[in-house]
């Protein structure tokens, strides 16, 4: 099965961890690529994932109402969460990378999706890096 999410995979050395990067609102899978070399994780692989919904010149993981109190589209979060689960299954089945070797890194909306995935997934991840985001619910 091909995952619904667009991603760019840059494999690391055999058996190495994989950083799966979830960008923030209005960004794309391209936005974090320049950051990877600065993090100095020798041998690691990188997977830059693009959110499913167009948002201006970039992409969004879910609708976000910024007028008044911030309101998160729970159905959009659930849909993106399911798409991320499908991608994780694809990475394990087709690239041999189980969750236990994956570090999820998310910024802003990607942070929410990282936390949503790590907290609800039945298996542990190598790490979760949650940058400038929040928990949904």
Instruction: Determine the Cα–Cα distance for residues 77 and 137; give it in Å rounded to an integer.
Output: 11
Across 105-127, average pLDDT? 97
Q: What is the pTM of this model?
A: 0.94
Longest CA span, the chain: 49
Across 93-114, average pLDDT? 98
Task: Please tell me the total count of domains within the chain.
Answer: 1
When comparing pLDDT for 126 and 71, which is higher? 126
CATH code of 48's domain = 3.40.50.1820
Residue 113 lies in a domain: yes
Instruction: Determine the Cα–Cα distance for residues 33 and 48; give it in Å rounded to an integer.
Output: 7
The pLDDT tens digits of the residues spanning 30-64 come to 999 999 999 989 999 999 999 999 999 999 999 98
Residue 89 lies in a domain: yes
Across 103-108, average pLDDT? 98
Residue 70 lies in a domain: yes
Helices (H), 1-137: 74-95, 109-120
pLDDT (0 to 100) of residue 1: 52
Residue 137 lies in a domain: no
Three-state DSSP at 14 gives coil
The range of the structural domain enclosing residue 116 comes to: 7-131
8 A C-beta contact, residue 109 and residue 60? yes
The pLDDT tens digits of the residues spanning 83-98 come to 999 999 999 999 999 9
């Amino acid at each position: 099965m091909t995952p619904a999410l667009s991603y760019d995979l840059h494999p690391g050395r055999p058996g190495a961890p994989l950083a799966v990067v979830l960008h923030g609102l209005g960004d794309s899978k391209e936005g974090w690529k320049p950051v990877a070399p600065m993090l100095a994780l020798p041998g690691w692989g990188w997977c830059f994932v693009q959110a499913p919904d167009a948002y201006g010149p970039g992409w969004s993981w879910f609708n976000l109402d910024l007028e008044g109190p911030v309101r998160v589209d729970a159905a959009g979060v659930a849909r993106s969460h399911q798409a991320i689960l499908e991608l994780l299954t694809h990475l394990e089945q087709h690239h041999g990378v189980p969750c236990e070797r994956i570090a999820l890194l998310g910024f802003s909306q990607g942070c929410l999706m990282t936390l949503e995935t790590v907290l609800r997934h039945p298996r542990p991840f190598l790490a979760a890096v949650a940058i400038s985001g929040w928990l949904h619910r």
